[in-house]
Amino acid sequence: MSVDTPTIPVRCVPQSRISELDFNNIEFGKIFADHMLVADYKNGAWQTPEIVPYGNMSLSPATSALHYGQAIFEGMKAYKNAEGDILLFRALDNFRRLNISADRMCIPELPEEIFMQGLEQLLRLDAAWVPPTPGCALYIRPFIFATDDFIGVRPSSNYRFVIFSCPVGAYYGQPLRVAIEPNYVRSAEGGAGYAKAAGNYGAALYPARKMQERGYHQLIWTDALEHKYIEESGTMNLMFVIDGKLVTPSVSTTILAGITRDSVLQIARDKGIPVEERKVSVDEIAQAHKAGKLQEAFGTGTAATIAQIATIHVNGEDLDLPAVEDRQISLSIAEELERIKTGQAPDPHNWIQKI
Ligand code: COI
């Protein structure tokens, strides 16, 4: 699907920086495409967006997002097909989730046309930045933050919406060692865990660093009440293959409703793989491993895509999982997902928008 977009005012870069990019060696999140979209909210309304050269923004030291964290973001990806067309993956779902986060954080709802038309025009302008390289994509980061220069604690009256992008390769370079988090909490019932709020990530850094100091790449969050049930990992939702079934914690107010998570479950159902969305206890994982029934474990996320888990630290013990190359379910789903995203397989659920 390609939509004709009304033209948003554009200020182009005098000279592209694309020659700085080595398409065969793309590090995650370090080099940014030439342009960004900016729209401000003031006087009770979102203003006409503008596309401008990617660059620093000037902010008051009193900018309220910097103090009280009224800020939300999204992550999505665009790919190139064999003909060189840009294929945008499930952007409308990211737009809807952004507004769910906005509602929770008292940020005014963003109109669909600012997000979708702005995004389409930005992608056309920066088309050369979408890597054609297998396994790579253009990672797109929309975000909104409160811009009042005011030190009192209350929802801001002014906001800025920005979309910028960066070509990326793999987020995780190898199968992960993860550990169950028995003490710290990411999110509790009634909190903002389901929102993609900046503060959720900031508050997770300290427990994640402590786990990294113990030799694990990431931690697995457990429920705030009993530390008994598995929730999600630092940057991803979690999935397990137990005795041939794909099992994942159901989304709730404490877990982010991942779009990659949803895509993986849909592909699994399409393939006839049994799927269970339910509570998953730490004990169930330990017992399944002991019984030889824990066949696969992986994370899902836009940045992480499908990130294989090699080892899970549970109750003082490192549980090693079967070799990644033997993981038929996750490997076949990952391959199908990549084929859909890059236009090599049919798109039965209309996830792709050709730009
Ligand atoms: C994503 O997967 O897009 C995320 O936002 C997770 C992380 C990079 C913050």
Q: For position 269, what pLDDT does the model report?
A: 98
Q: For position 1, what pLDDT does the model report?
A: 38
So what's the ipTM on this one?
Answer: 0.95
Closest ligand 1 atom to 141 CA: 3
Closest ligand 1 atom to 29 CA: 8
Q: Tokens 């064999």 correspond to what residue?
A: 82
Question: CB of 159 within 8 A of CB of 169?
Answer: no
Query: Count of alpha carbons within 13 Å of 144, Cβ hemisphere only?
Result: 32
Is the C-beta atom of 142 inside 6 A of ligand 1? no
Q: For position 6, what pLDDT does the model report?
A: 60
Is the C-beta atom of 49 inside 6 A of ligand 1? no
Q: What's the 163 CA to ligand 1 centre distance in angstroms?
A: 14
Q: Which helix (H) or strand (E) element contains residue 52?
A: strand 50-53
Closest ligand 1 atom to 304 CA: 2
What would you measure as the largest C-alpha separation in the chain, in angstroms?
63
Q: Specify the amino acid at residue 13.
A: V
pLDDT tens string for the chain (355 positions)? 344 556 899 999 999 999 989 888 888 899 999 999 999 999 999 999 999 999 999 999 999 999 999 999 999 999 999 999 999 999 999 999 999 999 999 999 999 999 999 999 999 999 999 999 888 999 999 999 999 999 999 999 999 999 999 999 889 989 999 999 999 999 999 999 999 999 999 999 999 999 999 999 999 999 999 999 999 998 899 999 999 999 999 999 999 999 999 999 999 999 999 999 999 999 999 999 999 999 999 999 999 999 999 999 998 999 999 999 999 999 999 999 999 999 999 999 999 999 9
Selection from 265, 323, 327, 313 nearest residue 285 by Cα: 313
**Atom 5 (ligand 1) nearest CA:** 75
Is the C-beta atom of 301 inside 6 A of ligand 1? yes
Is the C-beta atom of 197 inside 6 A of ligand 1? no
Q: What's the 292 CA to ligand 1 centre distance in angstroms?
A: 32
Q: For position 131, what pLDDT does the model report?
A: 94
Q: For position 5, what pLDDT does the model report?
A: 53
Question: CB of 109 within 8 A of CB of 28?
Answer: no
Render the burial of 45-82: b for 16+ CB within 10 Å, e for the rest: ebeebebbebeeeeeeeebbbbeebbbbbbbbbbbbee
d(CA 137, CA 134): 8
Q: What's the 117 CA to ligand 1 centre distance in angstroms?
A: 23
Q: What's the 111 CA to ligand 1 centre distance in angstroms?
A: 23
Is the C-beta atom of 131 inside 6 A of ligand 1? no
Q: What's the 171 CA to ligand 1 centre distance in angstroms?
A: 9
Q: For position 4, what pLDDT does the model report?
A: 54
**Atom 9 (ligand 1) nearest CA:** 235
pTM here? Answer: 0.94
d(CA 276, CA 29): 34
Mutate to test the pocket of ligand 1, among 302, 305, 306, 337 (most ligand atoms within 8 A of CB): 302
Q: What's the 258 CA to ligand 1 centre distance in angstroms?
A: 10
Q: What's the 291 CA to ligand 1 centre distance in angstroms?
A: 34
Q: For position 170, what pLDDT does the model report?
A: 85
The CB density around residue 345, as the number of other CB atoms within 10 Å, is: 14
Q: For position 72, what pLDDT does the model report?
A: 98
**Atom 7 (ligand 1) nearest CA:** 235
Question: CB of 298 within 8 A of CB of 307?
Answer: yes
Q: Is 321 helix (H, G, I), strand (E, B) or coil?
A: coil
Q: Tokens 């038309």 correspond to what residue?
A: 117
Question: CB of 194 within 8 A of CB of 100?
Answer: yes
**Atom 8 (ligand 1) nearest CA:** 303
Mutate to test the pocket of ligand 1, among 163, 165, 235, 259 (most ligand atoms within 8 A of CB): 235
Q: What's the 160 CA to ligand 1 centre distance in angstroms?
A: 20
DSSP assignments along 27-47, one per residue = PTTSS--SEEEEEEEETTEEP
Q: For position 346, what pLDDT does the model report?
A: 96
